[in-house]
Amino acid sequence: MDDLKHYLEYILTPSTPVFVVGALIVLLVPILVHFYISSATPYTNLPSILLIGPPGAGKTSLLTLLERGDNAVPTHTSQITQSVELTVSTDGGIQSFRDAARDDAPGSHKKFMLVDTPGHGKLRESAMAKINANDPLKGVVFVLDASALDENLQATANYLFDVLLALQKRMGVGKTSKAPHAVHLLLAANKADLFTALPASLVKSNLEAELGRIRQSRSKGLKASGVAVGEMDDEDNEDWLGEYGAEKFAFSQMREFDVEVDVVGGSVLEGKVDKWWDWISERV
Amino acid sequence: MLDTFEILTTSGVVVWSRSYAAVSPSIVNSFITDVFIEEKGAIAGAKDDQPTASNPPYRADQHTLKWTFSKELGVIFVAVYRSLLHLSWIDKLVDNLKTIFVDLYGDQLKKPNTTLVHCHKFDEYFDQQVRQLESSAAVKGSQPSAAALVSDDEAVSGNLGDEPPLPPGLKHRSIAQNGAQELPSTTESTPVVTPSNSRPSTPGTSHLVVGKGGPMAKMSRRARKMQNTSAPASSGDEGPARKAKKAPKKGRKWNADGYASEEDDVQLDYSAAANAATSESEAEGRSTAMESIDSSTWGTKTSKGQFVLKDLDDEVNDILASAQAKSTGSSSSGGLVNSGFSTISGLFRNVVGGKTLTKEDLRKPMDGMKEHLIKKNVAPEAAVRLRDSVEHELIGLKTGSFESIDARIAKAMEASLTKMLTPTSSLDLLREVDAVTRPSTFSSVKPRPYVISVVGVNGVGKSTNLSKICFFLLENKYKVLVVAGDTFRSGAVEQLKVHVRNLKELTQREGGKVELFEKGYGGDAATVARDAVRTASNEGFDVVLIDTAGRRHNDQRLMSNLEKFAKFANPDKILMVGEALVGNDSVAQAQNFNASFGQGRTLDGFIISKCDTVGDMVGTIVSIVHATNVPVLFVGVGQHYEDIRSFSVKWAVKKLLSNN
């Protein structure tokens, strides 16, 4: 009992060792806790590439192809997002995704996450949330079906419009003075192996024309419920995709918001996705 | 014969598949879309880990899909076969394969950030299972009528409804009991033949019995079980099969009343035997695992020419037996010390997070959530469905760090509501009108007017909302023809006349054009509508808006007119106006109107009027979407022509979850 009393007295008496130890505890504990927590949650800081697009375009197929390296497995409609950890070569040692998929690929590598999202209309919320999330998002690959673009043009363009608008808004809402890093978009025109597939240039022009029409009709459309009257006038500017007031929409207008849009054709089934892979490697 | 068996993850990757005949991938895709994503029909609870027989089979394009789902691993097991075939062993096959697959490859599936699952060896297991079940089905195949008869029974007992689903172990036992009761009757009435005789030399032919669609194709689990237990007995003729139907029925009655109540004296001579067997069947229910091993080893011996690796067989049976034993024994709870410790750690984790949610944890907050939704004017059945689906989603999940259960539930409910209310394809009315009235020069489609009609019960604001849409279209410089389809209520035509006059004045400077088409009172609304559409296409109108008479949704006489109307006018969009003020009637209204347009035609959307009068109580929106799966397109928020808004899911979810 006396020991305890003595001990307490010592601690409560101001003296140099007590101050030093106290200061050390105060300084070190938060730092240690931080390291403990950050080490407990891995995979948060890997750069990520988002696969997005209408259903049936071949997002999951592409994912499996890039992961396996040899060929894609059959897939069905996705219900959840699925991330896969992939590597790209950093020293130019290997070029093709086929080599990168091997475990014993030579050279040094950088890991990144390829995130597949469901394309179904009801489940797009999660994909859109990923764009706005604070992940180190490096790029978005919008996979579309080039062989059935005629029938699906409106649906595809609608989704693309939402994605582009989200990317555009993302650039606008930086809380700090530091601008958020640029996120570029690749339009992957899939299914080039099919006879009816459109070439990339035609895909681009068709989509640009359709996006222009959507932009026009959205600006004239009804206000969304919950938006009070009068609040809308200054928001007009925000919901306008690309250069405000421009007659026609072109993907080049997105440069204003640091969003580069490339259109590249390819085919998952035939394994002709090297150009897409190059694009992804560049972003990562 | 089975066409395809597939094992796929919820992320869409086919992990393993075996195909005997080419099946279009669109069948499985539409199955996933309908059952899992859009949750069509009342199968919200079907996403649980229940056996195949309890999941309603999905039919599409002459194929039937039997499926089961492992929620923990996110794996779906689907068997596809021609609807014409009557494959009694499919349920068992799907269940067994699920058990085996989960046991063998569960660890691989749990790995994050990969879609790779190495399961090449699963081929052998699959073959073994198919052979085994096929050969055992060959015996049962000669008893298809029994299966069909009992399947009605199962349909009743399977949908016990509001009760929480029994743990699989319990269910299993009671079913085994019924099956066992049936056993003595069969043995009694028909002489026992040696098993080797009863087994046909060519297994796999006798299951090709042509089913009559509905109940035939749905092979009940009980029937299967029953046949399983009666397998040693000879294949009976019609006599025992008919009796077999009675036996389980009686058995259930006893279960409900207790064994003492013996007064149902319609007893046949075998009742005493069956009664005695009940106690026996308890033991039998427990030892089904043992029995299945026995019969299978015995099966491989007798069937010649089908050489099955013995060790594989044993392994499979081990897996199945252990899984069964686990499910039977799972009901027993841990000791006192154990539960005390788990309570303390549960309390701790409740604050810190990382708690694994159980049904008990969720019950109270989930009921609270249900009450909250009902207070927001959500119909009780919709609230219950939402509660159940969120509960299914959450059981077994871990809360995040420093996340309370309530917060987790609110998050899941928000996701659930968003998913429910988000339409499958978004509607851009102006784009659609453009596509129809000014088709691109490449396509061969001829330009025609775009036809919209509104329906609904009396006094919900059909004409008012029609005028609002008309105003919106006029602002966008369309030529609109308004049709007075209400030829019934006095004053209806005059009301529209006033609206059109006002709209004309309002939009003169905008450049739109609006006319009224009316044929007075007493005429047939469908004919008026058809004439109006014809006139509109002749005179170059862009949009035709058809008003209809308000009708009570439960008045068959009035509702039957709608089918003719839909056929004659053939509107591009049939919108139903429902008011936000209405209470629980909204579900019935929506359902009746949705079903009234005849085959292949449903509502295309809802307009919810009078939203400004209810504040946060916008539960009607959830009720009607729950009832019909038809999206809400517009909401009316005031008395003026411009007070119509396109529906925003975020807005609705926010209002529904707000606390005041």
Domain boundaries, chain A: 2-40, 48-283
Burial B455-486 (b: 16+ CB within 10 A, else e): bbbeebbbbbbbbbbbbbbbbbebbbbbbbbb
**pLDDT per residue as tens digits for the range B310-335:** 566 777 777 777 777 766 654 444 45
Q: Which pLDDT belongs to residue B466? A: 92
Q: B48 and B179 share a domain?
A: yes
Residue type, B97: L
Query: What tokens does B220 get?
Result: 């009940």
B156 and B240 inside one domain? yes
Distance CA B588, CA B555 (A): 12
Q: Which ranges of B111-237 does DSSP label H, i.e. alpha helix?
A: 122-140, 144-158, 168-189, 195-198, 214-217, 221-229
CA distance B122 to B126: 6
Domain A48-283 top-level CATH class: alpha beta
pLDDT at B261 over 50: no
Predicted pLDDT at B83: 80
Chain B hits for A229, Cβ within 8 Å: 642
Average pLDDT, chain B: 72
Q: Distance between CA atoms of B399 and B391, rounded to whole angstroms?
A: 14
Look up the domain containing B433 and give its range: 429-657
Nearest chain B CA: its distance from A3 CA (Å): 34
Minimal Cα distance from A129: which residue of B? B415
Q: What is the mean pLDDT of residues B267-284?
A: 46
| Pair B105, B213 in one domain | yes
B residues 392-451 closer than 8 Å to A (CB): 415, 418-419, 422-426, 428-431, 434-435
Asked if B500 and B586 sit in the same domain, the reply is yes
| Sign of the dihedral defined by the CA atoms of residues B259, B262, B263, B266, in that order | positive
Buried b (16+ CB within 10 A) or exposed e, B102-135: bbbbeeebeeebebebebeebeebbebbbbbbbb
**Residue in A67, A122, A222 closest to B646 by CB:** A222
Q: Which amino acid is at B76?
A: I
Among residues B597, B589, B590, B593, the alpha carbon closest in space to that of B565 is found at B597
The amino acid that residue A160 corresponds to is L
Q: Which amino acid is at B287?
A: S
Beta-sheet strand order (sheet of B63-70) = B14-19, B2-9, B75-82, B63-70, B58-60
| DSSP state for residue B52 in the 8-state scheme | G
Under-70 pLDDT residues of chain A: 39-45, 90-108, 134-135, 172-180, 223-239, 243-247
Pick from A79, A82, A223: CB nearest B115: A82
Whether residue B472 lies within 8 A of chain A, CB to CB, comes out as: yes
B375 Rama class: left (phi>0) / alpha (psi -120 to 50) / beta: alpha
Could you give the dihedral angle defined by the CA atoms of residues B357, B362, B363 and B365, in that order, rounded to the nearest 10 degrees?
A: 160
CB contact under 8 A, B646 and A85: no
- Interface check for B33 against chain A (CB to CB < 8 A): the answer is yes
Q: Within 10 Å of residue B634's Cβ, how many Cβ atoms?
A: 25
Beta strands B85-86; B543-548: pairing state: unpaired
CATH number of B70's domain: 3.30.450.60
DSSP state of A181: P
Contacts of B14 in chain A (CB under 8 A): 73-76
State the pLDDT at residue B194.
Answer: 41
Q: Do B12 and A78 touch (CB under 8 A)?
A: yes
Rounded CA separation B422/B413 (Å): 14
pLDDT of residue A27: 94
Q: How far is B426 from chain A (nearest CA, A)?
A: 8
Q: How far, in Å, CA of B497 to CA of B275, rounded? A: 78
Which pLDDT band holds residue B24 (cuts at 50, 70, 90)? confident
Look at residues B314, B376, B329, B642 and name the one whose alpha carbon lies nearest to residue B503: B642
CB half-sphere exposure, B484, CA atoms < 13 A: 23
Cβ contact, residue pair A213, B418, below 8 Å: no
B489-529 pLDDT per residue, tens: 888 899 999 999 999 888 877 677 899 998 888 888 889 99
SS3 B254: helix
Tokens of B488: 């019934």
List, edge to edge, every strand of the sheet that includes A184-190. A82-89, A109-116, A48-52, A137-145, A184-190, A261-265
- Say how many Å lie between the first and final Cα of chain A, rounded: 64
pTM across the whole model: 0.70
Indicate if B412 and B478 belong to the same structural domain: no
**B157 and B221 belong to one structural domain:** yes
B253 and B108 inside one domain: yes
pLDDT (mean) for B92-96: 82
In this structure, what token pair is assigned to residue B594?
């949705």
**Which residue from A minimizes the CA distance to B426?**
A121
Question: What pairs with residue B401 in β-bridges?
Answer: B353
Residue of B57, B30, B405, B408 lying closest to B214 (CA atoms): B57
- Give strand ranges (E) for chain A: 48-52, 82-89, 109-116, 137-145, 184-190, 261-265
Residue B437 to chain A, least CA–CA distance (Å): 15
Among candidates B419, B155, B603, B476, which has minimal Cα distance to A222? B476
Q: Give burial (CB, 10 Å; 0-12/13-18/19+) of B256.
A: exposed
Q: Distance, in angstroms, between A49 CA and closest chain B CA?
A: 13
Q: Which two tokens stand for residue B515?
A: 């006319």
C-alpha distances (whole Å) from A156 to each of A57, B11, B420 are: 10, 21, 22
Tell me how many domains chain B contains.
3
Please check the confidence at residue B425 and state whether its pLDDT lies above 90.
no
Q: Residue B80: enclosing H or E segment and its boundaries? A: strand B75-82
CB contact under 8 Å between A76 and B29, yes or no, is: yes
pLDDT value, residue B236: 40
Are B260 and B285 members of one domain?
A: yes
Domain C-terminal end among B364, B388, B421: B421
Q: Are B394 and B442 members of one domain?
A: no
| B87 & B232 share domain | yes
CB contact under 8 A, A77 and B29: yes
Q: Grade residue B148 by pLDDT with cuts at 50, 70 and 90.
A: very low
| A69-96 pLDDT tens trace | 777 778 888 888 888 878 777 665 556 6
Distance linking the first and last C-alpha atoms of chain B: 58
Chain A neighbours among B 11-30 (CB < 8 Å)?
A: 11-14, 17, 25, 28-29
Q: In three state form, how does the secondary structure of B177-203 look?
A: HHHHHHHHHHHHHCCCCCHHHHCCCCC
Contact B543, B478 (CB under 8 A): yes
The CA distances from residue A212 to A55, A125, B96, B161, in Å, are 22, 24, 54, 52
- For residue B543, what is the domain's CATH number? 3.40.50.300
- Structure tokens that stand for B300 in this block: 């491989």
Rg of chain B in Å (alpha carbons): 30
The whole-number pLDDT of residue B606 equals 92
- The Cα–Cα gap between B154 and B161 comes to 13
How long is chain B? 660
Question: Nearest-CA neighbor of B626 among B577, B584, B657?
Answer: B584
Return d(Cα B642, Cα B507) in angstroms, integer.
Answer: 12
Q: Determine the Cα angle at B403 with ends B397 and B406, to 5°.
A: 80
Name the closest residue on chain B to residue A116, using Cα atoms: B11
Q: By CA distance, what is B472's nearest residue in A?
A: A222
Question: Residue B439 contacts by C-beta under 8 Å, 6 or more apart in sequence?
Answer: B445, B446, B447
Q: For residue range A188-219, what is the model confidence (pLDDT) as tens digits? A: 888 888 888 888 888 888 888 888 888 887 77
Number of Cβ atoms within 10 Å of the Cβ of B57: 18
| Contact status of A135 with chain B (Cβ, < 8 Å) | no
Residue B27 has pLDDT above 80, yes or no: yes
The span from the CA of B8 to the CA of B25, in Å, is 12
Same domain for B129 and B260? Answer: yes
Is residue B107 within 8 Å of B203, Cβ to Cβ? Answer: no
CB contact under 8 A, A79 and B12: yes
> Which residues are CB-contacts of B561 (< 8 A; sequence separation ≥ 6)?
B525, B526, B551
- B470: nearest Cα among B425, B510, B521, B525: B510
Residues B544-598: tens digit of each pLDDT: 999 999 888 888 888 888 888 888 888 899 999 998 888 788 888 888 998 888 8
ipTM of this predicted structure: 0.74
- Give the strand pairing for A184-190 and A261-265: parallel
Q: Please answer whether residues A276 and A146 qualify as being in contact, where contact means their C-beta atoms are separated by less than 8 angstroms.
A: no
User: Are residues B299 and B136 in contact, defined by beta-carbon separation less than 8 angstroms?
Assistant: yes
What are the angstrom distances between the C-alpha of A202 and each of A188, A265, B448, B524?
13, 10, 28, 50
Residue B474 phi, psi (nearest 5)? -65, -35
- The rounded distance, in Å, linking the Cα atoms of B111 and B108 is 6
CB B169 within 8 A of CB B330: yes
**Considering B313, B329, B345, which residue would you say is the last residue of a domain?**
B329
